[in-house]
């Protein structure tokens, strides 16, 4: 646990509906002379996952169309200002404009978030195992704004083979006292870490994180572990 | 920018008021056979910074004393539940119990956040340069809960020699269009990344992040760049 490596893989070129991301990941890793192994975490930005799943819709750039798309992807609109909406998506994520993205999309189109990003992560992991014989954990990321703090950061929207939350409750601290608040959102920290090597404009949707503690691996889900029911949330 | 290394340094042992963190960092790095260089980022948890600055107060463990300490460190209390307070600290940070920590503190004491963590970071950076001839960027971190998402993550509370926000606005995306929301909170992403090698119970307050893009370095401040004036914040 004392050393991590985070490696950005090269761009896979244009991803379209039906593209097999497992093949693209393996090709990008080979080009980087990197052999993926179990115990690695493969980080994938949501954009290419969405494109491979056909979550691309026509978008004429008009305010009306944007409004309609955002409404269709959201449970509710939390705030509005100008063209910006803070939304609670159908997944329960709170983000800007329901995560709908027109940057790095073909002109005349917009990219929606995957319908079920945990399922997407499990699917990619299964494909890697079946076709390439390797089972890294998978984290699907997107870039979110935050309450209380300026700037955006990458977070996890789906995981497979990784605990989204590492629960250290009950472990003693250095003085033998039991720790209090120790449910660490490791999936979000991995997403943030990978974002440091994935500058948005550079078109590199894949990164590999190597060296994580084995305790972080296991069955996990962003929807079940990280999405917070409004009733229990004192921070909002 | 395509590869990062994150290395946890060993524990410096007990830190007390007046401890020179620059010496402790250099000793911990030597033990790890790591030679700090300009372009590295040194990540330091707030706890040891506070201890070295004497931000340790008597604490009898009573609810009344806790309430009094939290009030003294806060501008306002945002929410209360049981013994938990969500606070806006005098720095403008929104966190639990004003960041006051009794874990890894000596029995009968509590550790407060540094008074001015940006200043603490600049001070440590200056000491490293003066005493050891090296100028890594410095990030001071603490563990915060978040709105909307379960679990805690490390964030930056002070920086030196690093832009807290990397502003990519105006850079073209792959299709030549100008990116929209691209103020990336890189200081928080670095804090989160380092937390992956700094498990709370292991007593390792120092990590080194190597390989960041040169565009991330320069004068920076968490207080000026990341702390968000309530009026502009649609996410809360």
Q: Are strands A84-89 and B56-58 parallel, antiparallel or unpaired?
A: unpaired
Q: Contacts of residue A172 in chain B, CB cutoff 8 Å?
A: 201
What CATH code is carried by the domain that includes residue B159? Answer: 3.30.1330.100
List the alpha helices (DSSP H) in chain B.
Answer: 21-31, 46-52, 63-73, 117-132, 186-195, 222-225
> Looking at the partner chain, which of A148, A152, A180 has a beta carbon nearest the beta carbon of B103?
A180
Looking at B74, B96, B111, the residue that finishes a domain is B111
Of B76, B111, B146, which residue constitutes the final position of a domain?
A: B111
- Give A 75-104 residues with CB within 8 A of chain B: 78-79, 81, 84, 86, 93-94, 96, 103-104
Query: Are B30 and B136 found together in one domain?
Result: yes
Residue A96 resides in a domain: yes
Asked whether residue A39 is assigned to any structural domain, the reply reads yes
CATH number assigned to the domain comprising residue A108: 3.90.1660.10
In a domain, B233, yes or no: no
**Residue that has been written with the tokens 């963590």 in this structure:** B117
Residue B166 C-beta-side C-alpha neighbours within 13 Å: 23
Query: Quick check: A1 pLDDT over 60?
Result: no
Asked if B4 reaches chain A (Cβ–Cβ under 8 Å), the answer is yes
Domain that holds residue A186: 5-54+114-228
> Residue A196: which of B4, B145, B201 has the nearest Cβ?
B4
pLDDT digits (tens, 9 = 90+) for B154-205: 999 999 999 999 987 766 655 555 555 589 999 999 999 999 998 654 678 9
Say whether both B60 and B152 belong to one domain. no
Strand boundaries in chain B, DSSP class E:
3-8, 41-45, 56-58, 74-81, 84-89, 94-96, 109-111, 137-145, 152-160, 166-167, 183-184, 206-210
pLDDT cut 90: percent of chain A above it = 77
On whether residue B151 sits in a domain, the answer given is yes
Please check whether residues A102 and A213 belong to one and the same domain. Answer: no
In a shared domain, residues A68 and A88: yes
Closest CA to A168 of A181, A187, A185, A182: A182
User: Does the pLDDT of residue A34 top 80, yes or no?
Assistant: yes
**Residue B74 gets which letter from DSSP?**
E
Q: Are residues B122 and B192 in the same domain?
A: yes
Q: How far is A172 from chain B (nearest CA, A)?
A: 7
Task: Indicate if the pLDDT at residue A113 is higher than 80.
Answer: yes
Nearest to B148 among A4, A94, A212 (CB): A94
> What band does A199 get if pLDDT is binned at 50, 70 and 90?
low
Most B CBs within 10 A among A110, A148, A222, hence the mutation to make, goes to A148
* B40, part of any domain: yes
Q: Are residues B144 and B216 in the same domain?
A: yes
Q: What is the mean pLDDT of residues B9-32?
A: 94
**Is residue B127 domain-resident?**
yes
Same domain? B124 vs B214: yes
Give the range among A88-97, A161-170, B199-208 with minimum mean pLDDT.
B199-208
Nearest CB to B180 within list A103, A168, A227: A103
Judgement on whether residues B128 and B196 belong to the same structural domain of the protein: yes
Query: What is the rounded average pLDDT of the residues B205-220?
Result: 95
Question: Which pLDDT value is given to residue A67?
Answer: 93
A180, pLDDT greater than 70: no
> CB A236 to CB B233 under 8 A?
no
In A182-221, the residues whose Cβ lies within 8 Å of chain B are: 182-186, 188-190, 192-193, 195-197, 199-204, 211-213
Backbone torsion region of residue A13, taken as left when φ is above 0, otherwise alpha when ψ lies between -120 and 50, otherwise beta: left
For residue A163, what pLDDT is reported?
Answer: 97
For residue B232, tell me if it sits in a domain: no
Judged against a pLDDT cut of 60, whether residue B137 lies above it is answered with yes
User: Are A121 and A218 found together in one domain?
Assistant: yes
Same-domain pairing of B199 and B152: yes
**Are both A21 and A136 inside the same structural domain?**
yes
Number of domains in chain A: 2
Residues B72 and B137 in one domain: no
**What ipTM was reported for this prediction?**
0.94
Residue B147 to residue A104, Cβ atoms within 8 A: no
Asked if A231 has any chain B CB less than 8 Å from its own CB, the reply is: no
Kindly identify which residue of chain B lies nearest to residue A176, measuring between CA atoms. Answer: B104
Kindly state whether residue A233 falls inside one of the protein's structural domains: no
- Please say which residue of B111, B134, B157 terminates a domain: B111
């Amino acid at each position: 646990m004392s050393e991590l490596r985070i490696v950005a893989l090269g761009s896979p070129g244009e991803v379209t509906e039906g593209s097999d991301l497992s093949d693209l990941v393996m090709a990008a890793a080979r080009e980087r002379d990197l052999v993926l192994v179990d115990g690695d975490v493969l980080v994938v930005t949501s954009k290419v996952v969405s494109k491979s799943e056909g979550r691309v819709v026509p978008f004429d750039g008009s305010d009306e169309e944007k409004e309609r798309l955002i409404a269709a992807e959201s449970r509710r609109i939390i705030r509005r200002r100008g063209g910006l909406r803070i939304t609670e998506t159908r997944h329960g994520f709170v983000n800007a404009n329901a995560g709908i993205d027109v940057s790095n999309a073909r002109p005349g189109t917009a990219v929606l978030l995957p319908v079920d990003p945990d399922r997407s992560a499990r699917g990619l992991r299964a494909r890697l195992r079946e076709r390439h014989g390797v089972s890294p954990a998978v984290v699907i990321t997107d870039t979110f704004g935050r309450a209380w703090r300026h700037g955006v950061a990458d977070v996890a929207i789906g995981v497979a083979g990784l605990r989204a939350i590492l629960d250290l409750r009950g472990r003693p601290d250095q003085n033998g006292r039991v720790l209090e608040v120790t449910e660490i959102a490791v999936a979000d920290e991995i997403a943030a870490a990978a974002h440091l090597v994935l500058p948005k404009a550079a078109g590199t949707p894949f990164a590999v994180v190597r060296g994580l503690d084995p305790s972080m691996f296991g069955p996990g889900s962003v929807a079940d572990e990280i999405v917070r029911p409004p009733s229990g949330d004192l921070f909002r």
